[in-house]
């Protein structure tokens, strides 16, 4: 029987962190962060990193594993997440991946490997480029490569282009784990209100000061690309007022949430639960119990 991994995903501010901790406590699990920004040390507020108290409530992995000036890629995540998963299994615990970075999660869960001497980073970098293309642009790439698909989907198109580029060095393999994908969502109005409230709380917790430290010390590093930091830079440079910049943080966060949901619904087989429904946690717990086949719970 394959080892089993739980994955909690969804848009920003929907409640992934809290649910992940609850599941870890219920099922003796440990959490692997699936977020591209929470890897950075000293960037705690703007990345919505689990607080020290939350990290004590359940062990967390892949948080604070990079300095703010260090690069971090999808390749790094896949390698380090797999290592964390195996470490968790070695201690008899259940890995629970929690995050909202779609490309990272999909790349981890894909289930194929590279043969020969091909560097996996090349494939993941190529995929990251393809993911920026529109459906029309992907279709044009397929046409140029003389590839015909019986039914077009983004996932099939990208996979076909990867195979065409890397040939026999890219081979299918059986997925090493069974994954239960738990998606959290909510009505758009409620989700957007959650996002707005979260930004307000971040400001109270010191978001502006955290962003100012980044602006003063490392204004050009990769970490500044995260929402919540770059929007405040015009305030620090005197180009905009703080209220306008904070509204931009909220607006970009709402747009990002929409893109996250689109990604998960179109590219991954996810069972979604509406967090405004009163019994959604009970339904999720039951689904996890059945997935793990633990009759003694």
- Binding residues, as ranges, are 10-17
Give the C-alpha separation, 77 to 83, whole Å: 10
Q: Is 59 exposed, middle or buried (0-12, 13-18, 19+ CB in 10 A)?
A: middle
Selection from 245, 279, 272, 223 nearest residue 14 by Cα: 272
- In order of 48, 60, 83, 154, 177, the CA distances from 56 in angstroms are 16, 8, 21, 40, 27
Give the C-alpha separation, 54 to 281, whole Å: 18
Give binding residues for ATP as ranges: 10-17
Residue ranges of the alpha helices (H) in the chain?
Answer: 16-26, 52-57, 74-90, 102-109, 120-130, 135-144, 154-166, 188-205, 207-217, 233-236, 242-267, 280-292
- In order of 80, 240, 287, the CA distances from 180 in angstroms are 20, 45, 9
Strand partners, 7: 97, 181
CB 58 within 8 Å of CB 31: yes
Give, rounded to a whole angstrom, the gap between the first and last alpha carbons of the chain: 20
CB 200 within 8 Å of CB 184: no
Neighbours of 238 (CB within 10 A): 7
Selection from 202, 195, 197 nearest residue 43 by Cα: 202
């Amino acid at each position: 029987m394959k080892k089993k991994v739980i994955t909690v995903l969804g848009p920003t501010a929907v409640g992934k962190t809290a649910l992940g901790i609850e599941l870890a406590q219920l099922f003796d699990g440990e959490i692997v962060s699936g977020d591209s920004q929470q890897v950075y040390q000293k960037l705690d507020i703007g990345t919505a990193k689990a607080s020290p108290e939350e990290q004590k409530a359940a062990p967390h992995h892949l948080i604070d594993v990079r300095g703010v000036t260090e690069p971090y890629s999808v390749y790094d995540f896949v390698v380090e997440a797999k290592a964390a998963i195996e470490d968790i299994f070695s201690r008899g615990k259940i890995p629970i991946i929690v995050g909202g970075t779609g490309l990272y999660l999909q790349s981890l869960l894909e289930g194929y490997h590279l043969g020969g001497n091909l560097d996996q980073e090349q494939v993941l970098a190529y995929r990251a480029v393809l993911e920026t293309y529109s459906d029309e642009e992907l279709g044009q790439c397929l046409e140029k490569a003389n590839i015909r698909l019986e039914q077009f989907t983004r996932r099939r198109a990208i996979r076909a282009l990867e195979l065409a580029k890397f040939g026999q060095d890219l081979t299918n393999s059986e997925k090493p784990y069974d994954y239960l994908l738990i998606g959290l969502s909510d009505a758009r109005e409620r989700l957007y209100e959650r996002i707005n409230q979260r930004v307000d709380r971040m400001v109270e917790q010191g978001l502006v000061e955290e962003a100012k430290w980044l602006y003063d010390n490392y204004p050009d590093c990769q970490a500044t690309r995260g929402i919540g930091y770059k929007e405040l830079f015009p305030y620090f440079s005197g180009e905009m007022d703080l209220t306008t910049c904070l509204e931009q943080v909220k607006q970009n966060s709402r747009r990002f949430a929409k893109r996250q949901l689109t990604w998960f619904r179109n590219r991954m087989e996810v069972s979604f639960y509406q967090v405004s429904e009163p019994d959604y946690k009970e339904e999720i717990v039951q689904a996890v119990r059945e997935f793990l086949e633990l009759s003694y719970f």
